[in-house]
Chain A
Amino acid sequence: MSFQDLSKNKINFLNIFIGFSILIVFSLIVKNMFYQYAIETNVDKARIVTQELLATRHYLAKVAPYTVITKKNINSFAISPAFVGAKIGETLKEKGYIYLKQTSRKYRNKNNAPDSFEENLLKKYETKELEGEHYEISDMHGEEHLRYSFPLYIKKSCLACHGKPKIEVKETIYNELVKNYGERSFNYKEGELRGMISVAINIQDIDKTLKSFNIKMFFMMVLLFIMILLFFYIEKKFIYDPQLKKIQRLNETLESRIAEEVAKNRQQDQQLIQQSRLAQMGEMISMIAHQWRQPLSAISSTSSSLELQAMLDKTDKETVIELSQKISSYAQHLSITIDDFRSFFKANKTKTSTSLKIIVESTLAIVETSLQNKDIELVKNFQCNKEFFIYENEVKQVILNLIKNAEDVLLEKGIKNPRIELQDSCGIDGDNPTLFIKDNGGGIPENIKEKIFDPYFSTKIKKDGTGLGLYMSKIIIEEHCKGQLSVYNEDDGAVFMIEFNPKERK
Chain B
Amino acid sequence: MANLQELVKFTKTLSLLVVEDNQDSREQFVNMLKSLFDNIVTGVDGEDGLKKFKEDSFDLVISDINMPKMNGLEMIEEIRKIDKKVTIMVVSAHNENNFIDDAQFFDVDSYLFKPISLPQFIESLSQMMNKVK
Contacts and interface: CB of A to CB of B under 8 A. Distances in A.
B80 to A, nearest CB: 25
Contacts of A297: 25, 28-29, 114-116
Nearest to A308: B35
Contact of B66 (A308, A326, A373): A373
Interface of A: 289, 293-294, 296-302, 304-305, 307-309, 311-312, 314, 326, 373, 375
Residue of B4, B35, B66 ringed by the most chain A CB atoms within 10 A: B35
B25 A308 contact: no
Residue of B31, B115, B121 ringed by the most chain A CB atoms within 10 A: B115
Interface residues of B, number: 24
- Listed from nearest, the 8 A-B pairs whose CB atoms lie closest are A300-B115, A301-B28, A305-B32, A297-B115, A308-B35, A304-B118, A298-B28, A375-B68
Interface of B: 1, 4-5, 8, 22, 24-25, 28-29, 31-32, 34-36, 66, 68, 93, 95, 114-118, 121
B14 to A, nearest CB: 16
Nearest to A372: B22
A301 B66 contact: no
B24 A294 contact: yes
Contacts of A294: 22, 24-25
Nearest to B29: A301
A420 B71 CA distance: 22
B60 to A, nearest CB: 16
A243 to B, nearest CB: 59
B95 A289 contact: yes
Contacts of B114: 293, 296-297, 300
Contacts of B28: 297-298, 301-302, 305, 326
B11 to A, nearest CB: 11
Given A300-B115, A311-B1, A375-B68, A293 B32 contact: no
Contacts of B8: 312
A373 B32 CA distance: 24
A301 B31 contact: yes
B32 A302 contact: yes
B4 A312 contact: yes
21 contacts: A293-B93, A296-B114, A297-B28, A297-B114, A298-B24, A300-B114, A300-B115, A301-B28, A301-B31, A301-B32, A301-B116, A305-B28, A305-B32, A305-B34, A308-B35, A308-B36, A308-B118, A309-B35, A311-B4, A312-B4, A312-B35
Contacts of B22: 294
Contacts of A289: 95
Nearest to B28: A301
A311 B28 CA distance: 18
B17 to A, nearest CB: 17
Contacts of B34: 305
A326 B4 CA distance: 26
Given A300-B114, A302-B32, A373-B66, 16 more contacts: A289-B95, A293-B93, A297-B28, A297-B29, A297-B115, A297-B116, A298-B25, A298-B28, A301-B25, A301-B115, A301-B116, A302-B28, A305-B28, A307-B118, A308-B36, A312-B4
